[in-house]
Structure 1
Amino acid sequence: MVKRNATRNSILAITKADGSIITSVPDIAQEFVDFYTSLLGIEDQTRPVDDEVFHWGPSLTSELASNLYRAVTPAEVKTVVFQISDNKAPDPDGYTSCFFKKTWNIVGDLICRAVMDFFRSGRMLRQLNHTIIALVPKSEHSLSVANYRPIRVAM
């Protein structure tokens, strides 16, 4: 059953724009990269912010603004972790939020330190910042890259 699902969930071949068929995993992966690079480009698409926008509408009070700069507390980190639904999708390591809740007395201090360090330094542990792109076929027999829909799953 597991082997059948793995085969069903694999992309075994892709037909390129020139009609040739590729079957090697690295070539298939590169075909997807090339397709989306040509579709989306590689340059940053950000535009400068017009400073006038800061004068539109209400602004934060000094009290609320200072609240944005204060340190995050371990109690706040724990509250947020415990508000996450137990049924959320697992991280790439396979652990769900339920695992972290049940083992909080063991892992809570490490989680709090990692989160507080992120807010202090602006740097996140690489292990915590993952995005998985799942390629979902648009039809049962998707043969070209354009017939797959990329779905982003942030971890």
Structure 2
Amino acid sequence: MKGGSRPQRQMNNFHKAVDECGLRDVPWEGYNFSFDNGQVGDANRQCMLDRAMCTAPWIELFPYAKLIYMSREWSDHAPIKLVLNRREVGMVMSRPFRFEQVWVGEAGCLEAVERGVARGGGDLGGMLNECMMELQKWKKFNIRKVGRMIQRKRNQIAKLNEGIRTEETVKRRKKLVAEVAELNRQEEQYWRQRSRALWLKDGDRNTKFFHLRAGERKRKNHIHKLIDDTGVVREGNEAIACVANDYFRSLFSTSNPGAADDVLVGLEGRVTAEMNGVLRREFEEHEVIEALNQMNPLKAPGPDGMNGLFYQTYWSIIGPEVIRTVLSILRGNRSPEEFNKTNIVLIPKKKAPDKI
């Protein structure tokens, strides 16, 4: 199982150049051959065609460097990944519930939403809470771990890449490659939702871009410390959250100032009676629906994790109660307490911020 040979003169010149430059192979792991012509039986050719070399000083700078020959999928050549350092394990934090785009169309998702609405007891807040719990249970027992499935299928492809080709192995490999492509599409949707790169359409195999964009946004927006009103530096998630909560509580609290009418004396009215009539008329159902359809489906949701996509997809189920609740609040009735809760997101406007 060797590839085509080179003229001896070329190989001698190559070896001479390697020796004079003091080059050596970067430590590697993976299958022994990086190229496969994809033919069957005796026509199959495999060889170590792709490699990386370095100098001894470079290895001293990167003692843990390793070249990984990954499994071929679409190309005759195996992709090569150069890893320079050991992966550092960071702190794992629990993630809040989020309704995912990849769930839409999955078997059982619709039924989980229907169960949640039915158990909500005719109250929108209760319906959303029950939907969240039903979706979490459905996700736990039914949703496939896309990343794990991709890796599992790639491991099967890697085994099929080794050894001599047969018609059966070629057929199985094509099927696995198609399945990996579909799983990659689902993974791309997942990272697109987190990257906030909503201006870029999915379906173009941009998973790596979306992943990097999400990681970049996370690093850029991370706040390590904040200084409170007393000048004390607060570090850690809980302490930083307390500083932010105190700031916004003070910002949005009133000191109940008096004589507000005196401030308006002398100001000329700009709103006509006709304009005022339009502004004061009662809201209607079609306005609620219009506002919902104007929402970006993947913009950041509130504490309940339900984004615009959830409401737009399951409007026939949840819509009537949404309309009833929204119109009730707009017409002067009391808003449920949980509807006034929100996520406070601190977005840095400069590098390494320490004050709000």
TM over 0.5: yes
State the match for 2:302 in structure 1.
91
| Structure number, greater radius of gyration | 2
Matched letter for residue 283 of structure 2: V
User: Aligned letter for 1:81?
Assistant: L
Aligned partner of 1:58 in structure 2 is: 270
Range 89-98 or range 130-139, more displaced:
130-139
Q: Give the AA of the match of 1:98.
A: L
Q: Does 1:6 align with 2:218?
A: no
Give 1:136 shift: 5.7
Which amino acid in 2 is paired with 1:70?
R
Question: Offset at 1:32?
Answer: 2.2
Q: Percent identity?
A: 24
Q: How does 1:1-155 map to 2 (within 5 A)?
A: 4=91, 6=93, 17=231, 25=238, 28=239, 32=243, 36=247, 44=255, 48=260, 49-53=263-267, 56=268, 58-62=270-274, 64-135=275-346, 147-149=354-356
- Residues 11-69 of structure 1, C-alpha deviations (whole Å, 9 max, x = no match): 799898578x88794xx3696279749x97x762757232322xx1533233x322222
**CA displacement, residues 126-147 of structure 1 (integer Å, 9 cap, x when unaligned):** 222223323567655x7xxxx1
Q: Give the TM-score normalised by the residue count of structure 1.
A: 0.61
- In the alignment, the residues of structure 1 paired with residue 347 and residue 255 of structure 2 have an alpha-carbon distance, to the nearest angstrom, of 26
List gaps (5 residues or longer) in structure 1.
Answer: 150-155
Q: 1 CA distance for matches of 2:287 and 2:324?
A: 12
2: CA distance, partners of 1:65 / 1:85: 30
User: TM-score with structure 2 length normalisation?
Assistant: 0.30
Change (3 A) 1:85 1:124: same
1: CA distance between counterparts of 2:300 and 2:237? Answer: 30
Gap change, CA 1:127 and 1:29, over 3 Å in 2: same
Alignment RMSD: 4.2
Of structures 1 and 2, the one scoring higher in RCO (CA 8 A, sep 6+) is 1
Q: Helix, strand or coil for the counterpart of 1:52?
A: coil
Q: Which runs of 4+ in 1 moved over 6 A?
A: 7-16, 21-24
d(CA) in 2 for partners of 1:68 and 1:35?
Answer: 35
Aligned residue number for residue 141 of structure 2: none
Shift in Å at residue 104 of structure 1? 0.5
Q: Is the 8 A contact 2:225 2:236 kept in 1?
A: yes
- Displacement of 1:120 after TM fit? 1.6
- Asked whether the equivalents of residues 114 and 125 of structure 1 are also in contact (C-alpha less than 8 Å), the reply is no
- Amino acid aligned to 1:109: P
Q: Contact (CA 8 Å) 1:13, 1:22: kept in 2 or not?
A: yes
Aligned residues: 136
